[in-house]
């Protein structure tokens, strides 16, 4: 039997791997987007705790960012998957279920990536808020804006403007971290490339294609982020 050529591998025919690789790329995007969104929400609240919270909240927030930035992402994924599965199993036994109940790999992996990236989101948001001119915040208070209106009209857009370049870096990190969730059974892009290389004996071809797809996703997302930066910087004089 002849080995499949490069074009055969990327084809969408009955013997091609194009559809499987595309499905893996979409799964990578789903994990990355979900994890990035979860991390963004966590980052907003933890950054608020560091900036405006009391002593206890600041200590907890500092502990969160220190711990999550200091341990490997893969370890966090393992803790979420096996710890979450143990918790779900215990709850299932309480209600009469038998045997091991595994936490869905996508859920465990996405939450783990989100919690990890939340530590980086926190520092990005905190630094971006510090970059906002105090005069603009004082002017909003002087105009009689309520705290919610001040946040919506002044704090959020200005903070996002300063945060967007840093968020782009966090997104790139999250995109690469998504490859680690394969340990929970999720077949994302890199795992699909491993399956294909094992089935055909052509590891170089499959990993080259996977690298090209990662680069394509990264390049496109960078293009979108640059558009966002330009839109948020309209009317701002550039030095």
Domains annotated on the chain, with CATH: 17-232 (1.10.3720.10)
Q: Is residue 208 very low, low, confident or very high in pLDDT (cuts 50, 70, 90)?
A: very high
Higher pLDDT, 237 or 121: 121
- Looking at residue 237, its pLDDT comes to 57
**d(Cα 104, Cα 101) in Å, to the nearest integer?**
9
The whole-number pLDDT of residue 36 equals 96
Reported pTM: 0.90
> Residue 110: which of 54, 41, 18 has the closest Cα?
41
pLDDT of residue 175: 94
- Confidence at 191, pLDDT banded by 50, 70, 90: very high
Q: Which tokens is 6 given?
A: 């490069």
Cα–Cα nearest to 106, from 37, 30, 191: 30
* Mean local confidence (pLDDT), 120-125: 95
- Tell me the average pLDDT of the chain: 89
> What integer is the mean pLDDT of 9-28?
88
Average pLDDT over residues 63-90: 92
Q: Given this model, what pLDDT does residue 235 score?
A: 59
pLDDT at residue 2 in the model: 63
Measure Cα distances from 60 to 32, 54, 98, 170 in Å. 26, 10, 37, 22
The confidence band for 7, taking pLDDT boundaries of 50, 70 and 90, is confident
pLDDT value, residue 147: 80
Taking residues 7-36, what's their average pLDDT? 89
Least confident of 93-102, 106-115, 212-221: 93-102
Query: Residue 71: what pLDDT?
Result: 92
Contact 112, 31 (CB under 8 A): no
């Amino acid at each position: 039997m002849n080995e499949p050529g490069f074009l055969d591998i990327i084809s969408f025919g009955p013997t091609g791997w194009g559809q499987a690789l595309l499905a893996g790329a979409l799964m990578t995007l789903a994990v990355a987007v979900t994890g990035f969104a979860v991390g963004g929400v966590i980052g907003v609240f933890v950054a608020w705790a560091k900036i405006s919270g009391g002593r206890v909240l600041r200590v907890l927030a500092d502990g969160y960012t220190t711990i999550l930035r200091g341990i490997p992402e893969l370890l966090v994924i393992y803790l979420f998957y096996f710890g979450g599965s143990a918790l779900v199993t215990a709850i299932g036994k309480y209600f009469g279920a038998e045997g091991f109940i595994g936490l869905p790999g996508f859920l465990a992996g996405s939450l783990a990536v989100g919690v990890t990236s939340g530590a980086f989101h926190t520092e990005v948001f905190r630094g971006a808020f510090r970059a906002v001119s105090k005069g603009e915040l004082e002017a909003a208070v002087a105009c009689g804006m309520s705290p919610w209106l001040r946040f919506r009209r002044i704090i959020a857009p200005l903070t996002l403007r300063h945060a967007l370049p840093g968020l782009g870096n966090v997104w790139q990190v999250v995109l690469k971290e998504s490859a680690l969730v394969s340990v929970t059974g999720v077949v994302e892009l890199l795992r699909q490339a491993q399956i294909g290389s094992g089935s055909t004996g052509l590891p170089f071809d499959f990993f080259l294609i996977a690298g090209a797809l990662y680069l394509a996703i990264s390049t496109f997302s960078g293009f979108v982020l640059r558009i966002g930066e330009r839109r948020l910087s309209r009317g701002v004089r550039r030095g």
